[in-house]
A and B are shown apart, each in its own frame.
Chain A
Amino acid sequence: TAGITQAPTSQILAAGRSMTLRCTQDMRHNAMYWYRQDLGLGLRLIHYSNTAGTTGKGEVPDGYSVSRANTDDFPLTLASAVPSQTSVYFCASSGGASTGELFFGEGSRLTVL
Chain B
Amino acid sequence: GQNIDQPTEMTATEGAIVQINCTYQTSGFNGLFWYQQHAGEAPTFLSYNVLDGLEEKGRFSSFLSRSKGYSYLLLKELQMKDSASYLCAVKDSNYQLIWGAGTKLIIKP
Binding site for B on A (CB under 8 A): 40-45, 48, 58, 90, 97-98, 101-107
Contacts and interface: CB of A to CB of B under 8 A. Distances in A.
A106 B48 contact: no
A90 B4 contact: no
Contacts of A58: 96
Please classify the interface of chain A as helix (H, G, I), strand (E, B), loop, or mixed, using the class held by over half of its residues: loop
Please classify the interface of chain B as helix (H, G, I), strand (E, B), loop, or mixed, using the class held by over half of its residues: strand
Contacts of B42: 90, 104-107
Contacts of B41: 106-107
Interface of B: 4, 8, 30, 33, 35, 41-45, 48, 87, 89, 91, 95-102
Contact of A43 (B44, B45, B87): B87
B45 A101 contact: yes
A97 B99 contact: no
B45 A102 contact: yes
Contacts of B4: 42
B30 A101 contact: no
B95 A98 contact: yes
A42 B102 contact: yes
